[in-house]
Amino acid sequence: MSKPAGLKPLECSGCPSRTDSPVCKAAEADPPAFQQLLHRLFYLPHQVVFYEGNPSLGLYVLCAGKAKLTTSSPSGHQRIMSIVGPGTLVERSGFCDGALHAVTCETLEPSQVCLVDRRGYFSLLEKNPALAIAHARYSAAPQCRPEPSAVKAISEPGFTRPFSTHS
């Protein structure tokens, strides 16, 4: 697809969001190799980048524009999971072979998405330990944040810590 009117194509070297994503940091580690893994895709507002339940083709990074991530309830209602902007790795399922998309991604304005080949990206990680560590930290970040309900519960008056059975 040709680029939508009003959207200036971004190269990795000039992207202001490249420091926000460890996937984009691979472009700094080995620019020629990274460029071979990359497919720049352009979308008009309200075009679907991928659908929930379809196979993930790689790592999707939103380089410019905004997108809405939704999921469907069993009754068919759409639930907005988040609105994402430039520099966002759109979905983590792209890191897994054979993974299906957990959400539908629809652009809200003219957008540029870079699709990065998964296997090639992991090959770059194998060659660059610092990049691999940054990726591991990024991947672990969602598991390292406490659940908001748990934080609220332990900060409320009257909370008592359960006793431990360990000696």
Residue 142's pLDDT is 58
Residue 167's pLDDT is 46
Question: How confident is residue 149, by pLDDT bands cut at 50, 70 and 90?
Answer: very low
pTM surpassing 0.85?
A: no
pLDDT at 59 over 80: yes
Q: Round the average pLDDT of the chain to a whole number and report it.
A: 78
Residue 154's pLDDT is 45
Q: What is the DSSP string of 21-49?
A: -HHHHHHHH-HHHHHHHEEEEEE-TT-EE
Per-residue pLDDT tens digits for 72-128: 988 889 999 999 998 888 887 777 888 899 999 999 999 999 898 888 888 888 888
Instruction: Say whether 165 sits in a helix, a strand or coil.
Output: coil
Q: Buried b / exposed e across 85-94, counting CB within 10 Å, b at 16+?
A: ebbbbbbebb
Domain residue limits, the chain? 12-155
pLDDT cut 70: percent of the chain above it? 67
Encoded tokens for 86 = 């430039």
Nearest-angstrom CA–CA distance, 121 and 26: 8
pLDDT at 38 over 60: yes
Residue 161's pLDDT is 47
Instruction: Say whether 71 sits in a helix, a strand or coil.
Output: strand
The answer to which of 61-70, 77-86, 98-107, 141-150 has the lowest mean pLDDT is 141-150
Rg (CA), the chain: 19
> Measured between alpha carbons, how far apart are the two ends of the chain, in Å?
65
Q: What is the third-level CATH fold of 12-155? A: Jelly Rolls (2.60.120)
Instruction: Give 46: exposed, middle or buried? Use CB within 10 Å, 0-12, 13-18, 19+.
Output: exposed
